[in-house]
Amino acid sequence: MLAILDAEGVHTESAFLRTDADGDFVTYYIEAEEGATVYDVFKQVTENPDELSDELAAFVAEFNDVMDGDPYLVESEVLYHLVNPECPT
């Protein structure tokens, strides 16, 4: 996974599952150098999982099974974002 995060230029990634009357939704929070790079690497990985390690390919296969269509950006405003400067890295 770290190799993919490095290729994407991602510093932080979190996934949240939301369920409502319209169905289940996955929302991501990503801090990265460039959004377009994240998307390009994501497409390459999900379309060519055979090029990955067995463990990562299994993760991608399960991910693809639960996703319905391509990801899309949702416009939203940041309510808050806090980072503890003493957080160990």
Q: In whole angstroms, what is the distance from residue 7 CA to residue 83 CA? A: 24
Looking at residue 89, what is its pLDDT?
62
Number of domains in the chain: 1
Give me the mean pLDDT over the 39-46 stretch: 88
Domain assignment of residue 57, given as a range: 2-66
Supply the pTM of this predicted model.
0.69
Q: Looking at the predicted structure, is the pLDDT value of residue 29 above 80? A: yes
Dihedral angle, C-alpha 80, 38, 70, 26, nearest 10 °: -30
Looking at residue 77, what is its pLDDT?
83
Q: Percentage helix, strand, coil, to 5, in the chain? A: 40, 25, 35
**85 in any annotated domain:** no
**8 in any annotated domain:** yes
Looking at residue 37, what is its pLDDT?
94
Can you give the C-alpha Rg of the chain in angstroms? Answer: 15
